[in-house]
Structure 1
């Protein structure tokens, strides 16, 4: 059952069949990316002619899609595919699954790489520590429906979190696992724009050169650095907003 089916009631008979067909067709165009955010949905009259049904049947389907958050209906303008919801606060540590669910899309993730090794100079820069420590390197792809939503590249300090060496990150992504496992005291975010190249472009299924938003985050506990994560989002699927007040 799709999320549009859960967002509203069903009709009966031929009308129910057409109603569900319209829902499935439009939902499929949106989830597949064929109709990107901002795309205008065909007008009710055009859809009624296309499906050989009443405008009331089309209206019910569009109302259900709007209730599910897939489209936005504007008076005298028509219906449009909704834009991704903005992240509410840059300085909070958010769960990617919750971000995807806020878009009314099903979440999944795939563990692409997991390597336990000694640290390298790049790891010392990312984790900001001196000396040598064992690290766990992880790469995951997070999905919103069938489309890649975010590429996660993470390094975990195994001296600080030795339990991570045995954790099953194919079942539970490392972000929520770490939040439940290790209390953090300090976090730092860096946000920048890049052009997707090579592995990142392939993982996110976007053309090379696509504008992407990168959020890098370091976290520390009272005993030292815990993890550094680099989250890469296709630029047209994510935005970040911070709300703040003047300092005294």
Structure 2
């Protein structure tokens, strides 16, 4: 069939494609308000039903949320993290992401550091980082990370301004195993202030240690507002929990 004989794209699909493109490009960020149905009708010369269908399709795709009496807004990303993997925060948050290093400390490994990372050589040093991850203008997660400088000495000179520390490690450092601990905890005052939630609000807290051939690389605690994160896992009838994939060299 020739290009000239193709059916034109339905108007609701064209409106959806335009808005979806702006969301995926980052021009519209999480939490941004979208035009109302009446505004879409005026802007595109379509019926109210067509405008409503375009917004409904965006809601069904998980890109938009509609709030009664408030309007339609770009959806906050709901991170889904594979239970036995180490995801990249760049992909987890997606368009509109940003991060800021709030604290950065180089120090000799103390008892608390060794408790988190595990056995370290005498005189070992660590880099402690606190990072806030944003989805648009909304706090997405708080990261408290220790990096074993005996395993990753180049991290001592890295500012992590352009790339968050987890992504930086994934790009450079091989890992062979990761250990996870998941809790539901109430936000303390300090975490609540940084995440923009009320003290005591429920949070999902993930503690992870990654190692390479038994050598600790990094320990991280990720604190998420409870309604913005999910953990997923898939298994078959023959899968055993203790046999979660660990073989081969991955990046931590």
Deviation readout 1:153-202 (Å, 9 max, x if unpaired): 00001111100011131111111111121111111011111100122111
Paired residue for 1:89, among 78, 82, 91? 82
Establish whether residue 234 from structure 1 lines up as the match of residue 243 from structure 2. Answer: no
Q: Which structure 2 segments of 5+ residues have no match? A: 1-13, 23-27, 67-71, 241-252
Distance 2:15 2:144 in 1: 34
Matches within 5 A, 1:51-90: 54-56=47-49, 58-59=51-52, 62=55, 65-66=58-59, 69-71=62-64, 84-85=77-78, 87=80, 89-90=82-83
Report 1:208-227 matches (<5 A).
208-222=199-213, 224-227=215-218
Cα 1:160/1:83, change in 2 over 3 Å: closer
Q: 1:159 aligned to 2:168?
A: no
Relative to the length of structure 1, the TM-score reads: 0.72
Of 187, 190, 203, 1:199 maps to 190
Candidates 120, 127, 133, aligned match of 1:136: 127
Distance in structure 1 (CA, Å) of the matches to 2:15 and 2:127: 40
Distance change in 2, residues 1:83/1:168 (3 Å): closer
Instruction: Determine the C-alpha separation between the residues in 2 that align with 1:145 and 1:9.
Output: 20
Q: 2:97 corresponds to which residue?
A: 107
Once superposed, what is the RMSD of the aligned Cα atoms? 3.5
Q: Using the TM superposition, give the Cα deviation of residue 69 of structure 1 relative to its aligned residue in structure 2, in angstroms.
A: 3.4
Map of 1:37 onto structure 2: none
Question: How far apart are 1:245 and its partner, in Å?
Answer: 2.3
Tell me how many residue pairs correspond in the alignment.
209
Q: Give the 5 Å matches for 1:9-48.
A: 9=18, 31=31, 47-48=37-38
What is the match of residue 244 of structure 2? none
Gaps of 5+ in 1: 11-19, 21-26, 35-40, 74-78
Deviation at 1:239, TM superposition (A): 1.1
| Residue 51 to residue 68, structure 1, CA distance change in 2 (3 Å) | same
3-state secondary structure, aligned to 1:240: strand
Relative to structure 1, the CA distance from residue 7 to residue 164 in structure 2 (aligned partners, 3 Å threshold; closer, same or farther) is farther
- State the match for 1:186 in structure 2: 177
What is the CA distance between 1:67 and its match in structure 2?
A: 7.6
TM-score, with structure 2 as normaliser: 0.71
Q: In 2, Cα distance between the equivalents of 1:165 and 1:50?
A: 52
Alpha-carbon distance in 1 for matches of 2:158, 2:16? 36
